[in-house]
């Protein structure tokens, strides 16, 4: 029988009380075990951190990946992760970026808790049980890789996007029935990666319809203390109005060791350079996103940050 490791990481799924807060794992796991399908070989585990997902960072997801990779050494190859929905897309993309197709991994969560306010019984109306059962069924019947299971939809983890804050149909992405060919590489996570991730500074700036002169002021302020990664979310296919002063400001930021990446603020669709407004990309020497969405780009930037120390190395290896 296939052994499934069910990992609890907090989130709405395991919340109780008013206002909602994550139930301590030692109290939640026994309640969770009572509803698990008897015909499956499931063992419950507690993630290294049980926190609200809005507080999750790269460090938490790398520790989770480490845990999964250690469990693989104990003959586990099937994993279901219960995670909060706020950053579920980022968790999914990060796990996909580091685990690749080395295991069968399905992440899920819920828009309402499994248990009632007291934490003593399951809620009469909740999507938690349905999402859990769907994830458990999917993990043993789908090809190796990382996926997000939610509201009877199984999507590739790299493409995940939270599209609604409260509805049960909360996520969008590429359905696995589309059979997209994705690059799936395993990257073992070591303690040094976790430590380095604590200082990972990634800033995303969404273009607004303001004068270029104001854009320059904003970026010059940023130039004083630049992040490791600056993501520019342009309009449409990545359009961003530029002039020589703004390009020079971006190059000055990049010269301080900040990798600058152009993407689009539009949820789906590729970056294109066919518009005249994008001619500046040819000589600005910035990176162009080739990712499936915002979370996927975050995961790729994190992986590049851990692997390479200079912007020049990022440019050499960006499209590998």
pLDDT at 277: 59
How far is CA 85 from each of CA 47, 107, 170, rounded to the nearest angstrom?
Answer: 16, 10, 9
How high is the mean pLDDT in each 10-residue block of the chain (320 residues)? 94 91 92 95 96 94 98 96 97 97 97 94 95 98 96 97 95 90 83 98 97 96 96 93 93 96 91 71 86 95 97 94
User: What's the pLDDT at 18?
Assistant: 86
Q: Are strands 21-22 and 15-16 parallel, antiparallel or unpaired?
A: antiparallel
Q: Using alpha carbons, list the distances in angstroms from residue 246 to 111, 135, 217, 288, 315.
A: 42, 47, 9, 17, 21
- DSSP-H helix ranges across the chain: 25-33, 58-72, 88-99, 128-139, 191-197, 212-223, 244-254, 281-284, 294-307, 311-317
Half-sphere exposure (Cβ direction) of 202: Cα atoms closer than 13 Å: 19
Residue intervals in the chain for CATH 3.40.50.1170: 3-178
Q: Of 246, 235, 309, nearest to 283 (Cα)? A: 246
Contact 11, 85 (CB under 8 A): yes
Residue with tokens 């990972």: 200
Does a cis peptide bond (omega within 30 degrees of 0) precede residue 19? yes
Helices (H) and strands (E) in the chain, counts: 10, 14
Q: Give buried/exposed letters for 201-214 (b at 16+ CB in 10 A, else e).
A: ebebbebeeeeeee
Unique residue bearing structure tokens 């040094």: 192
pLDDT digit string, tens, across residues 236-286: 988 998 999 999 999 999 999 999 999 999 998 888 766 665 678 777 889
**Rounded alpha-carbon distances, angstroms, from residue 143 to 20, 53, 55, 102, 139:** 35, 27, 31, 10, 8
CATH topology of domain 200-317: Rossmann fold (3.40.50)
How far apart are the C-alpha atoms of 273 and 171, rounded to whole Å? 29
Q: Which residues contact 144 (CB under 8 A, 6 or more apart)?
A: 77, 101, 102, 103, 104
- Give me the torsion for CA of 316, 317, 318, 320, rounded to 10°: 130
Assessment of whether the complete model's pTM goes beyond 0.75? yes
Greatest Cα pair distance, the chain, in angstroms, is 66
77, 101 in Cβ contact below 8 A?
A: no
Domain 3-178 has CATH 1.10.490.10: no
All CATH 3.40.50.40 domain ranges in the chain, comma separated: 200-317
Overall residue count recorded for the chain in this entry: 320
């Amino acid at each position: 029988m296939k052994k499934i490791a069910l990992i609890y990481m907090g989130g709405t799924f395991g919340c109780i009380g008013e206002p909602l807060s994550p139930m301590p794992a030692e109290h939640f796991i026994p309640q969770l075990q009572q509803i698990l399908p008897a015909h499956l070989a499931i063992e419950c585990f507690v993630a290294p951190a049980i926190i609200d997902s809005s507080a999750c960072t790269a460090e938490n997801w790398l520790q989770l990946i480490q845990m999964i990779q250690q469990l693989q050494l104990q003959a586990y190859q099937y994993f279901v992760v219960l995670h909060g929905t706020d950053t579920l897309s980022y968790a999914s993309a990060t796990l996909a970026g580091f685990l690749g197709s080395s295991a069968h991994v399905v992440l899920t969560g819920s828009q309402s808790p499994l248990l009632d306010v007291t934490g003593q019984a399951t809620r009469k109306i909740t999507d938690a049980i349905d999402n859990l059962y769907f994830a458990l069924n999917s993990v043993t019947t789908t090809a190796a890789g990382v996926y997000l299971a939610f509201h009877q939809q199984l999507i590739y983890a790299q493409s995940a996007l939270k599209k609604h804050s409260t509805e049960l149909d909360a996520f969008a992405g590429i359905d696995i029935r589309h059979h997209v060919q994705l690059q799936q590489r395993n990257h073992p996570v070591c303690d040094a990666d976790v430590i380095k991730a604590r200082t990972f500074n990634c800033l995303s700036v969404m273009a607004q319809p303001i004068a270029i002169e104001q854009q320059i002021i904003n970026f010059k302020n940023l130039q004083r203390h630049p992040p490791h990664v600056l993501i520019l979310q342009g309009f449409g296919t990545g359009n961003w109005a530029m002039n020589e002063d703004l390009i020079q400001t971006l190059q000055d930021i990049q010269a301080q060791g900040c990798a600058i990446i152009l993407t689009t603020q539009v949820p789906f669709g590729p970056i294109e350079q066919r518009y005249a407004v994008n001619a500046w990309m040819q000589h600005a020497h910035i990176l162009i996103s080739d990712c499936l969405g915002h979370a996927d780009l975050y995961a790729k930037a994190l992986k590049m940050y851990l692997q390479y120390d200079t912007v020049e190395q990022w440019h050499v290896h960006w499209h590998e």
